[in-house]
Amino acid sequence: MRAGVCHLIHALSTARVPFNAEELKLLFKTLHENIRHTAIEIQEPAAKGLETFCKTYFTKDSEVAADESTFKWIISEI
């Protein structure tokens, strides 16, 4: 189930589905939690999803990253 969620987040990121800041935080936390999982079968899709997710939503040109409080949150999480 966890790997499937990571694949879904990867697909949504690839499709550039718009999300608000709270939804992005929830998706980021989900991926981050799955990267810490003990099973490599979950870590690999989580890492792939996180890469696509960050490249899509947390670039310097994105509206979400331009919001100062969200930007500070991203930096603290990373």
Contact criterion met (CB below 8 Å) for 3 and 42 = yes
pLDDT at residue 75, as a whole number: 72
Nearest to 46 by CA among 27, 63, 64, 61: 27
Contact criterion met (CB below 8 Å) for 3 and 41 = yes
- Calpha distance 1→7 (Å, rounded): 10
pLDDT at residue 59, as a whole number: 78
Contact criterion met (CB below 8 Å) for 57 and 24 = yes
Instruction: State the pTM of this model.
Output: 0.83
Q: pLDDT for 21-46, tens place per residue?
A: 889 989 999 999 999 999 999 999 99
77 pLDDT band, cuts 50/70/90, is: confident
The residues spanned by each domain of the chain are: 2-77
pLDDT at residue 63, as a whole number: 67
pLDDT at residue 34, as a whole number: 96
pLDDT at residue 49, as a whole number: 96
